[in-house]
Chain A
Amino acid sequence: MAIKTIGKHCKGCGVCVTFCPKQVLGLDALGKITVLDETKCITCKQCEMRCPDYAIFVEKK
């Protein structure tokens, strides 16, 4: 599994952080999406589905 984030697209709304059931995601000092602990990801893809800015993609490998 791989989480790909696109900082250029992210506006820091925090929707992905709220809906992530495993606290994998967070916002960095600039308010952009950052992956805190990829190993906890269960590939539910809630973040990808809810991101209004197409800034996060989760791929099952």
Chain B
Amino acid sequence: MEKLIEKYYRPRLPHIWCPGCGNGIVTSSIVKAIDKLGLDQDKTVIVSGIGCSSRASGYLDFDTVHSLHGRALPVATGIKLADPELNVIVITGDGDGTAIGGNHFIHTARRNINLTVILFNNNIYGMTGGQFSPLTPTASKATTAPYGTLERAFDIAELAKAAGATYVARGTAFQSKMLVDVIAEGISHDGFSLVEAVTQCPIYFGRQNKKGDASAMLKTQRDNAVTVEAAKKMTPEQLEGKFTIGVLHKSEAPEYTKQYQGVIDRAQKGAK
């Protein structure tokens, strides 16, 4: 890991994340996945939105864009269309990606453009002080919901699948080796890939909801995460309160930049 930090991180550590925040673990998983695939550092672009998770792009030594709130996907789409040779990885959070950028999210999935989205799910808006997000579980406390949230949370993996994403996976900060594998598979996949990285926010989510410290929240991830293979053998009662991890969905569909090249070719033929 020390060598990876020298190679892939900018010399500006320590990072700003709170003590025990899982974002550091997820960021290192992304770096490990990039290293595992041997991607060219100069041919890899990292685009992020705004929020705790999106600060990750500032620590990584690639071509990075720290874009607008919720608008990481349109920026990444532009970069990918301008040069389809680039590996474009998007780092976003639950609030950034599913609330402010919710519409961009479903339409980028529908387009099936070859981007890899790593959505850091910490169940809360941490940077602004603990407001609830679309992925905050029902009845959780937040600064903006002192008596608990009334809204049901999105299942972001199901949303991505329904919107047309061709690779959907979920990992946790606790099972970080598996997270590296699913991210690497997502980057290799030709099409829109979503990896939901379940991470802990011990300060703004954990403290308000009495989830314990970072270690306790990591243990909760360990106890509640069930692999897709194991979940198949379990009854709905056994799966109550659990969530599945691993590759949740994989399909084939025409990729957008390739389709677009077809349009360019046809138009140029017509012009001659």
Contacts and interface: CB of A to CB of B under 8 A. Distances in A.
A14 interface: yes
A50 B176 contact: yes
Given A13-B213, A15-B215, A19-B215, A54 B1 contact: yes
Given A4-B2, A11-B19, A53 B215 contact: no
Interface string B1-15: 110010001000111
A30 B176 CA distance: 29
Interface in B214-255: 214-215, 218
Interface in B57-96: none
Given A9-B14, A57-B2, A52 B213 contact: no
B15 A53 contact: yes
Interface of A: 4, 8-9, 11-15, 18-19, 48-55, 57, 59
Contact of B1 (A14, A15, A57): A57
B22 interface: yes
A47 to B, nearest CB: 11
Contacts of A53: 13-15, 17, 19, 24
Nearest to B15: A53
10 residue pairs, one from A and one from B, having the closest CB atoms: A52-B24, A13-B20, A18-B215, A11-B19, A13-B19, A9-B14, A57-B2, A13-B214, A52-B25, A15-B215
B215 A54 contact: no
Nearest to B21: A52
B5 A49 contact: no
Nearest to B14: A9
A49 to B, nearest CB: 6
B136 interface: no
A15 B15 contact: no
Contacts of B202: 13
B213 A54 contact: no
A1 to B, nearest CB: 14
A52 B20 contact: yes
